[in-house]
Amino acid sequence: MHSISLQTHKRCELIDITSRINEIIAKENFRDGFLMIFVPHTTAAVTINENADPDVCHDILLTLEELIPHIRKGYRHGEGNSDAHVKASLVGSSETILVENGRLCLGTWQGIYFCEFDGPRTRMMNIKTVS
């Protein structure tokens, strides 16, 4: 299992981690099978989405913010980050991606994003390759 860390810089932020995942595949010389990415945090997540136009990340965060604003009447959790917990459960804490001939089987426009919903923080991800 590999653990990689990353520093986030805003409260809500999508960070392209595709190249970091590719580094693990290259380092292991991993050829065929699949790879699991797991986020061990409850106010962050991982998703796959467009890697070309950064405006897509902006629009995803905007929509999540409007649907699940930071403050909601009725929230009880004392830390004031209930929105981040909800976003984490909706986006999800893991991704499983196929690998063939040493390459992630992503579509042309797909990248892998770490989703920060309660930053800035230092975060971790666990990655496991399975052949």
Residue with smaller CB distance to its own copies, 40 or 102: 40
Write the CB contacts of 75 (distance below 8 Å, at least 6 apart in sequence).
82
For residue 18, state whether it binds its own copies (rule: CB under 8 A). Answer: no
For residue 1, state whether it binds its own copies (rule: CB under 8 A). Answer: yes
Q: Which stretch binds its own copies (CB under 8 A): 5-13, 21-29, 101-109?
A: 101-109
* CA-CA-CA-CA dihedral for 37, 42, 47, 51, to nearest 10: -100
The torsion region of residue 80 among left (phi > 0), alpha (psi -120 to 50) and beta comes to left
Tokens of 91: 């986006």
Q: Which of residues 26-85 bind its own copies (CB under 8 A)?
A: 34, 36, 38-42, 47-50, 53, 55-56, 58-60, 62-64, 66-68, 72, 74-79, 82-83, 85
Residue with smaller CB distance to its own copies, 15 or 91: 91
Cis peptide before 54 (omega within 30 of 0): no
How many DSSP H helices and E strands does the chain contain? Answer: 3, 8
List residues binding its own copies (CB under 8 A).
1, 34, 36, 38-42, 47-50, 53, 55-56, 58-60, 62-64, 66-68, 72, 74-79, 82-83, 85-86, 88-98, 100, 105-110, 124, 126, 128, 130
